Homo-oligomer: A and B are copies of this chain.
């Protein structure tokens, strides 16, 4: 069997470093550094960048000034700049800041929804109905993110049927794209393939992305397995920014450089310049004083 024959020709990378990554770093990263990072990413060819979160700074101080970030970046035509919008207030701010895509979110685990968003899964999706309706009217793309689709820090295992259930609700809200997220990085390739195959029984493949954390080192194998069943959108974080909020000191988002290295080796197009991505990883780790969590980034730095 030649497994590579089933792989996509093009993969869209959603770079989540500026939001999901930096939000989970302890220290606040200055607005101008965020702007610089986002501009470097768009210039390197990243076509979708999670840039901001319009959430109360009381809740998430790291995301304060998201409006300033959005106002200061140099918009590259065709690039989608996404922002999290937890409620109508956040949505209004995102609209004013001219984001291209809003991100709404729920979880596949009841325990996680309760602990993280203080309501049931059903309630969490219902609360987003007015946000989604407004975005549709305003012609803004909607992305739905489903946390803990492969395991939960409180509940343990999560059934594929639970994921499908939340996906259906997200589709009813009119989501253009839906992220199936392994928030704690516990999934393994067979499980990943099975969950996506379950979704593709009732929904189009192009609508789904894989958001995999590398906490247990599984992310690249999971991406490979997901591509084999038809997933062609993946989230990653430059230099692996972010860490794991559920196990301090462990790895979080899969590093963009590691994903790009694999895709390049597989001959899969991304539109992103690999060498520039590695340099951006060096830049952001230097300026923030973080350790580069990308193995590719570290290997290339070590050879110099």
Contact = CB atoms under 8 A, between A and B. Distances in A.
B189 A247 contact: no
Interface stretch (A43-51, A55-63, A124-132, A214-222): A214-222
Interface stretch (A66-74, A164-172, A260-268): A260-268
Contacts of A2: 193-194, 197
The oligomer's copy count stands at: 2
A220 B224 CA distance: 10
Interface string A256-289: 0010011011110000000000000000000000
Interface in A1-57: 1-4, 6-7
Taking each of A217, A225, A229, A262, which has the highest tally of chain B beta carbons within 10 Å of its own beta carbon? A217
Interface in A233-259: 244, 246-251, 255, 258
A140 B301 CA distance: 43
A56 B224 CA distance: 42
A294 interface: yes
Contacts of A215: 295, 299
A190 interface: yes
A296 interface: yes
A93 interface: no
Contacts of A264: 188
Contact of A189 (B187, B248, B262, B303): B262
Given A224-B221, A302-B244, A190 B294 contact: no
A298 interface: yes
A205 to B, nearest CB: 12
B229 A294 contact: no
17 contacts: A1-B6, A2-B197, A4-B194, A7-B190, A185-B299, A189-B262, A190-B267, A214-B295, A215-B295, A217-B294, A218-B220, A220-B220, A224-B224, A246-B303, A249-B301, A249-B302, A251-B298
Interface of A: 1-4, 6-7, 185, 187-191, 193-194, 197, 214-218, 220-221, 223-225, 228-229, 244, 246-251, 255, 258, 261-262, 264-267, 294-296, 298-299, 301-303
